[in-house]
């Protein structure tokens, strides 16, 4: 392995370097000047984002433990874009007095989890996969407990770390059975010998249960709402968008490669879980009054839609999942960005506080409406195309009833998304939230999310690029 | 010696440990005990890996390596979890899950 080979890991290497640089800068700054870290980190991360887009071929490192190809790089770039928007949106919150000493912690923990996700996506064997998964979840628990003087934040942290530790235990038990029955932990070897024996089926079920915790599929979703509500709002948006997106990426890779010989069996499981996840997520979302809880249940329902693409089981399925995650990042970050901007300035998080918001803060209301329409899948915006491709791939696999249930669920979801829109535009309120002006970074973050929602739908090139890259992987 | 003990003995032990861990996690009301249950689950996985490696694939060492990594990660995980539990104790003056219920539906 020479130096050039080593550089193919540039996504992970640059992030590691970035985390170290932030740590060193933080050590050398006086307490009064800690906020200088924010623009420096944002700038460096933007460079990292741009460098990530330099095209690159396929490669395998460390004897097959780490592999990379254009599609995986595309996934990492999508995550990078999402993290950049989140960093922009969290500037106002980080500048608050109570967070001054902990600014660098936020960045370092965030970058550590992103490194973990990148390694997880690139993993070529279960050891690397497990290491990446743990690196992606443990720091997030610390992030969820970030505001340690608040009881809710600590509660969210403990709920997240305990449920993720349990789920990793279940997942590992599955991996140990896979190792026992195949004698290898490498994806390539396992794919060749994996069969339909009872032990291997059981191993798959354990593995899938563990993964379901991570993307919060019903019936493994119970931690989601509590953690999302208790964690600081920017950490919540990270959890719901980046963590979930990365888990969806790795799930689709593993399903399509390692467990491809089990397709006939796992499709039945996925069918049932997809129906349950969409329905339960939607029904619980209807009765939420807290915006963070509301978005938590809406994100559970969205995870159910992702399973439709995996069920499709062809190149179109893979493409549609990646495209859907890309669209979902922009739409959910638009919604979370607005909630975050309002919560940081006023501290209000309840849906009732949004009554009459349009009269005082028209721009925020419009962006919120756009993102919610995109999440619901209303035609002109990107969310419609994301859902459309998912449904199309499931239909191409012959799952017409599932598509019918999914369309029904999309209609139900429209009801509760419109509740928020109604609160902002129609509900009368004597004392709506006062007008406020967000700072530059927040506005930039919201603007990028809004533009993404609006233009991704019309710019078919994105879908074509993802599709052509997926062909290379799926043959 | 070890040759006289069949592989299935180890697997029975590890499976028992796994489900005792799950049971403990679901029934115990003390956060520290819940963490100990998770450790039990992870250790059952370790027994699995080492036993499989020793009996079925003695020419490679993948299972042993996996065990070492799992031990290291489990240590990191409990470090973070205990830090958060201390935080909980400062806020609630208790490490009982019954008290950590500010958010429920």
Residue A263: pLDDT above 60? yes
What whole-number distance in Å separates Cα of residue A453 and Cα of residue A372?
10
B2-92 CATH: 1.10.287.3510
Q: What's the average model confidence in pLDDT over A25-52? A: 90
pLDDT at A473: 67
Q: What's the average model confidence in pLDDT over A10-22? A: 92
Q: Is B75 helix (H, G, I), strand (E, B) or coil?
A: helix
Asked whether the beta carbons of residue A166 and residue B44 sit closer than 8 angstroms, the reply is no
B60 to chain A nearest CA, in Å? 9
* Cα dist from A440 to A100, A145, A309, whole Å: 19, 27, 38
Residue A142 has its nearest CB partner, among B62, B80, B102, at B80
Pick A60 or A148 by higher pLDDT. A60
> What's the mean pLDDT when you consider all of chain A?
89
Q: How confident is the model at residue A166 (pLDDT cuts 50, 70, 90)?
A: very high
Lowest mean pLDDT among A1-5, A16-20, A333-337: A1-5
pLDDT tens digits, A294-328 = 999 999 999 999 998 888 878 888 889 999 999 99
Residue A406: pLDDT above 60? yes
Residue A475: pLDDT above 50? no
Residue A434: pLDDT above 60? yes
Residue A379: pLDDT above 90? no
B14 to chain A nearest CA, in Å? 10
Asked whether the beta carbons of residue A173 and residue B21 sit closer than 8 angstroms, the reply is no
pLDDT tens digits, A195-220 = 888 999 999 999 999 999 888 898 88
Interface check for B17 against chain A (CB to CB < 8 A): the answer is no
Asked whether the beta carbons of residue B66 and residue A185 sit closer than 8 angstroms, the reply is yes
pLDDT at A5: 80
Residue A266: pLDDT above 60? yes
pLDDT at A470: 78
DSSP per position, B41-63: HHHHHHHHHHHHHHHH-TT--HH
Q: What's the average model confidence in pLDDT over A370-390? A: 88
Q: Is B99 helix (H, G, I), strand (E, B) or coil?
A: coil
The residues spanned by each domain of chain B are 2-92
Asked whether the beta carbons of residue B69 and residue A130 sit closer than 8 angstroms, the reply is yes
Residue A264: pLDDT above 90? no
Asked whether the beta carbons of residue A179 and residue B65 sit closer than 8 angstroms, the reply is no
pLDDT tens digits, B59-87 = 888 899 999 999 999 999 999 999 999 98
pLDDT tens digits, B11-52 = 999 999 999 999 999 998 899 999 999 999 999 999 999 999
Residue A402 has which token pair?
């599932």
Q: How open is the CA angle A455-A38-A240, to the nearest 5 degrees? A: 50
Contacts of A179 in chain B (CB under 8 A): 49, 52-53, 62-63, 66
User: Testing the interface with A: which of B58, B80, B82, B98 to mutate, by most A Cβ within 10 A?
Assistant: B80
Q: What length is written for chain B?
A: 105
Q: How open is the CA angle A235-A246-B76, to the nearest 5 degrees? A: 65
pLDDT at A474: 58
ipTM given for this complex: 0.94
Q: What's the average model confidence in pLDDT over A359-372? A: 90
User: Testing the interface with A: which of B77, B90, B99, B100 to mutate, by most A Cβ within 10 A?
Assistant: B77
Asked whether the beta carbons of residue A165 and residue B91 sit closer than 8 angstroms, the reply is no
Q: What percent of chain A has pLDDT over 70?
A: 99
In degrees and rounded to multiples of 5, residue A460 shows phi and psi of -65, -20
| Nearby residues of A225 by Cβ (< 8 Å), 6 or more positions away | A284, A288, A293, A296, A297, B103, B105
In degrees and rounded to multiples of 5, residue A419 shows phi and psi of -55, -45
pLDDT at A435: 79
pLDDT tens digits, A73-86 = 999 999 999 999 99
B1 to chain A nearest CA, in Å? 22
Interface check for A230 against chain B (CB to CB < 8 A): the answer is yes
């Amino acid at each position: 392995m020479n130096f050039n080979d080593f550089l193919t890991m540039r996504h992970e290497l640059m992030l590691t370097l970035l985390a170290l640089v932030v740590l060193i800068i933080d050590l050398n700054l006086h307490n009064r000047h800690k906020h200088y870290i924010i623009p420096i980190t944002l700038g460096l991360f933007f460079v990292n984002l741009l460098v990530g887009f330099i095209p690159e071929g396929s490669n395998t490192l460390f004897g097959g433990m780490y592999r990379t190809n254009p599609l995986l790089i595309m996934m990492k770039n999508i995550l990078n874009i999402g993290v950049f928007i989140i960093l922009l949106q969290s500037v106002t919150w980080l500048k608050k007095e109570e967070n001054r000493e902990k600014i660098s912690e936020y960045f370092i923990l965030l970058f550590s989890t992103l490194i973990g996700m990148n390694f997880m996506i690139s993993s070529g064997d279960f050891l690397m996969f497990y290491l990446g998964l743990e690196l992606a979840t443990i720091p997030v628990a610390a992030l969820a407990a970030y505001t340690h003087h608040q009881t809710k934040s600590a509660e969210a942290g403990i709920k997240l770390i305990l449920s993720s530790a349990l789920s990793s235990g279940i997942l590992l038990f599955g991996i140990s059975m896979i190792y026992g029955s195949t004698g290898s932990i490498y994806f390539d070897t396992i794919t060749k010998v994996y069969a339909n024996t009872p032990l291997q089926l059981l191993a798959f079920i354990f593995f899938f249960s563990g993964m379901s915790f991570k993307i919060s599929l019903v019936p493994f979703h119970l931690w989601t709402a509590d953690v999302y509500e208790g964690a600081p709002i920017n950490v919540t948006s990270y959890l719901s968008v980046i963590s979930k997106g990365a888990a969806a990426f790795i799930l689709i890779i593993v399903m399509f490669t390692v467990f491809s010989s089990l397709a006939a069996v796992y499709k039945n499981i996925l069918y049932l879980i997809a129906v349950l996840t969409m329905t339960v997520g939607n029904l619980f979302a209807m009765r939420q009054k807290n915006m963070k809880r509301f978005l938590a249940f809406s994100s559970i329902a969205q995870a159910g839609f992702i399973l439709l693409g995996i069920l499709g089981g062809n190149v179109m399925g893979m493409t549609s999942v990646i495209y859907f995650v890309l669209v979902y990042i922009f739409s959910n970050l638009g919604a979370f960005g607005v909630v975050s901007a309002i919560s940081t300035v006023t501290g209000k998080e309840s849906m009732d506080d949004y009554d009459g918001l349009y009269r005082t803060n028209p721009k925020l209301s419009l962006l919120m409406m756009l993102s919610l329409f995109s999440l619901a899948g209303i035609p002109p915006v990107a969310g419609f195309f994301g859902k459309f491709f998912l449904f199309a791939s499931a239909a191409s696999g012959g799952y017409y009833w599932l598509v019918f249930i999914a369309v029904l669920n999309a209609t139900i979801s429209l009801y509760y998304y419109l509740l928020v829109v109604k609160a902002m535009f129609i509900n009368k309120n004597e004392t709506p939230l006062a007008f406020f002006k967000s700072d530059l970074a927040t506005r930039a973050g919201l603007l990028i999310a809004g533009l993404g929602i609006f233009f991704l739908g019309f710019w078919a090139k994105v879908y074509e690029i993802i599709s052509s890259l997926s062909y290379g992987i799926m043959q | 010696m070890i040759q006289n003990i069949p592989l299935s003995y180890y697997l029975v032990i590890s499976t028992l440990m796994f489900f005792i861990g799950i049971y403990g996690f679901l029934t115990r009301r003390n956060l520290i005990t819940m963490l100990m249950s998770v450790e039990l689950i992870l250790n059952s996985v370790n027994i699995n890996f080492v036993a499989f490696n020793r009996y079925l694939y003695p020419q490679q060492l993948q299972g042993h390596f996996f065990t070492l990594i799992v031990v290291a990660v489990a240590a990191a995980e409990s470090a973070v979890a205990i830090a958060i539990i201390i935080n909980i104790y400062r806020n609630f003056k208790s490490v009982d899950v019954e008290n950590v219920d500010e958010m429920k539906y």
